[in-house]
Copies of this chain bind each other. A is one copy, B any other.
Amino acid sequence: MGNTYTNLEQEFLEYYKQIESYSEAIKLMAWDLRTKAPKKGAQRRSETLSLLSQKTHELKTSDHMKKFIDELKNADNPVIRRSIELVEKEYNLSKKIPLNEYKEFVELTSQAETVWAEAREKSDFEMFRPYLEKIVAFNIKFAEYWGYKENRYDALLDNFEPGVTVKTLDQVFPKLRDDLSKLIQKVSNSSDKPNTEQILAHFPKEKQEEFSLKVLEKMGYDFEAGRLDETVHPFAINVNHDDVRVTTRYDENDFRTAVFGTVHEGGHALYEQGLDKDLYDTPVCEAISMGIHESQSLFWENFVGRNKAFWESYYDLFFEYAPESFKNIPIDQFYRSINEVKPSFIRIEADEMTYPLHIMIRYELEKGLINEEIEVKDLPQLWNDKMEEYLGIRPDNDADGVLQDVHWSGGDFGYFPSYALGYMYGAQLKTAMDQEVNIDQAIKNDDLSPIKSWLNEHIHQKGSMKQPLELLNEVTGEGLNPNHLINYLEEKYGKIYNW
């Protein structure tokens, strides 16, 4: 990839580096707020964050930036050409929204997050409703400013999954939804369900942490370019390209939370740590999309972490940290327990099979709201109806239903589909990887590097040179196809639930 740049290109990259620097400060502050920061400092911190965000915004939408865009649009160097495409997209998105409306929106969502948190605590949707109505109205307006070809919701989707449209999703989501519902029915009809009682034994946090660190090490996570901390909501964050941190949550009565949470965030982190060093400090040196990011975390969490071979290989290692009582659990029973399928209300606690259905509900509701086919006031009822239809359970309060996710209060519409897309991408990548790498064998050899290397080569190294569906096509030879995920689940869970 092009490492020699013209003077103007150099100048552009120097300019862009300022944006990266502000971004590093912002991300470190965000990490610190969620992990270490004392409570009372948060008020002043948020003012600092807002100043730095404003500076970043100014740099991204300046006349100087416009000049770079105009003059480098047709650069010979493909990295520069693609970089300009990416910054131009951001430039246009920002420029199309009147500044006063944008500021109003930022203020609204900042208030809405606080109101949402209280509303969820009180399970009081009415309290949050007026804010959500305004947020939806803003999203509709923004979508109109930005423009779209077929469906207004496309304008929002494109922010998270460039090139993916309602049309794309409607070709695959209904099939995924129906097939999953059928599989869940099979699970529910099974007379041979795993018993999770024994794996829910008390497991001291410190020991969970030690084991989590061990697993990250096995995955090839670079601890000299990262660290593991504890948070209420686990996340991975690239403070800078050589400083990619992960967090996890410990539940002393369910070790799965920490272990699979760590593997999941570790998967995100390997993506960031695997970006091509030649692309550092260019706009191309970024994860391609939210969905591709999620494909990496889910790949490691599900295809490696919840894989039978993994536990067969590392069961002895696990015993070094787990309480004595775990030694009484036969590996087969253990494996079935960690893969229990059980419809539940909360998305982030959902198992591998029911998870995508939580996304379907959100996608359908968002699409309806943005296209003005449904109204905010009807959301609780619609949410619960869909839960009942797809998952067979009905929340009896809004905290366990429509109020559970933070996303809408933060103004994010169009984000949720990426979670399900990531899952499908992941399964498609697995099919492709299976041609070249024997995942189970790599695990048995206690050497996961072939898995990591394959993902490095086919996904991470490429940064944002392509759009997600282009990359998918290049790597797997086909477009979005839910069958890989369905087949994987059918095969795996047929064995676990003996159907």
Contacts and interface: CB of A to CB of B under 8 A. Distances in A.
A64 to B, nearest CB: 16
Nearest to A39: B224
Contact of A38 (B40, B43, B242): B242
B21 A52 contact: yes
A214 interface: no
Interface string A23-44: 0110011001000111111011
B52 A225 contact: no
Interface in A1-60: 17-18, 20-21, 24-25, 28-29, 32, 36-41, 43-45, 47-48, 51-52
A239 interface: yes
Candidate in A21, A47, A222, A225 with the most chain B CB atoms within 10 angstroms? A21
A227 interface: yes
A240 B25 contact: no
Interface string A201-238: 00000000000000000000011111100000000000
A190 to B, nearest CB: 46
A20 B38 CA distance: 18
Nearest to A280: B44
Given A24-B45, A25-B25, A28-B29, A242 B40 contact: yes
A242 B45 CA distance: 9
Contacts of A239: 37, 41
B243 A21 contact: no
A48 to B, nearest CB: 4
A293 interface: no
B38 A224 contact: yes
A36 B227 contact: yes
A21 B242 contact: no
A82 interface: no
A27 to B, nearest CB: 10
A241 interface: yes
B21 A240 contact: no
B48 A21 contact: yes
Contacts of A36: 36, 227
Given A21-B52, A24-B48, A25-B29, A43 B242 contact: yes
A444 to B, nearest CB: 31
Candidate in A17, A48, A222 with the most chain B CB atoms within 10 angstroms? A48
Nearest to A41: B243
B48 A240 contact: yes
A226 B39 CA distance: 8
A242 B41 contact: yes
Contacts of A245: 38
A25 B31 CA distance: 13
B38 A52 contact: no
Contacts of A242: 38, 40-41, 43-44
Interface of A: 17-18, 20-21, 24-25, 28-29, 32, 36-41, 43-45, 47-48, 51-52, 222-227, 239-243, 245
30 contacts: A17-B47, A18-B51, A20-B48, A21-B51, A24-B44, A24-B48, A25-B25, A25-B28, A25-B29, A25-B52, A28-B28, A28-B29, A28-B32, A32-B32, A36-B36, A36-B227, A38-B224, A40-B222, A40-B225, A40-B242, A41-B225, A41-B240, A41-B241, A41-B242, A43-B242, A44-B241, A44-B242, A45-B240, A45-B243, A48-B240
